[in-house]
Amino acid sequence: MRSLLNLPKAHLHVHLESTVRRATLREIGAANGVQVPGDTGAFGSFAAFFAQNDLVRACLQRPADFRRIAYEFCEDETAQGTRYAEVSFTAAAHGERLGDLAMPLNAVLEGLEAGREAFGIECRLILDHSRRRSVERAWRTLDLARRHDAVVAVGLAGDESHPGDPFTDVFAAARDEGLHVVHHAGEGEGPASIRQALGPGRTERLGHGIRVLDDPDLVAEVRERKIPLEVCPSSNVALGFASTLEDHPLPQLLDAGLIVTLNTDIPALIDTPLATEYARVREAFGYDDHTLAALARAGVDASFAPTSTKAHLHQALDTWLTTPEPP
């Protein structure tokens, strides 16, 4: 079995605020007057998950904080074999909280550029918006996205019990202006969530999407339309959407002929960086190197990366598969 740290990967579903190193969180928290517990931040309920998110937000206050977490994201992803990433960031929420709408996004972009120069990783941003928040903030998210070429997409995240229909005009405008749209759907809620995202929501990928299997007709539609799924098995288990990794529907999604990409979602919170996610899937389902490389290729193809980046990554995957591991 080849090293999964060396497997060239694209990472399409990961939230920047959920990648922050614990030591970094303690340091910036101390600088900003926020006490951060010394534990690992593990959680076993949605209440604890949301509390952790609130803690991270409270710590992030200065431009240097946002630059640092973006730079360290690049460093940590490079160590995992990630060559290209589309990282989600709730820019407008941070900007409104801090009284400077543009500052958090500008600082994150600076950190990603510094990370590219230092580590060679190519990163772009998806600006997400919580379904629980206002349509007005969603428009502000779109306005921020318009300003930067490094922002490739916008989309809805958060509790899927809150409908996506109030935001349809925002995402229609985004598509009309050449931005991509990617929504979380089909994780906590079922096929109706996915149908809304695919229809009026105009999504191009499904963030999670694992509940598609609840409806055979929907499986056929997603397969026919070649809609990629951003599947995050360890996160699904941690948040209670799958009982164990072995019971996760990843194999059924692949067997159904769907496009499946492998991602982490909230790696720092569940201590599962991307290479570890691949290793856990290998162990749980007995996948060989060719199957794992196919998952990585799906991530490359489903990305919004330039054609040249995709070609380079496919070549790197060919090399990974044909180069013997050293003894």
Enzyme catalytic residues: 187
Long-range contact pairs involving 142-145 (C-beta distance under 8 Å, separation at least 24): 142/170, 142/173, 142/174, 142/179, 144/91, 144/92, 144/95, 144/101, 144/102, 144/105, 145/174, 145/179
Residue with tokens 């990974």: 320
- Number of residues that make up the chain: 327
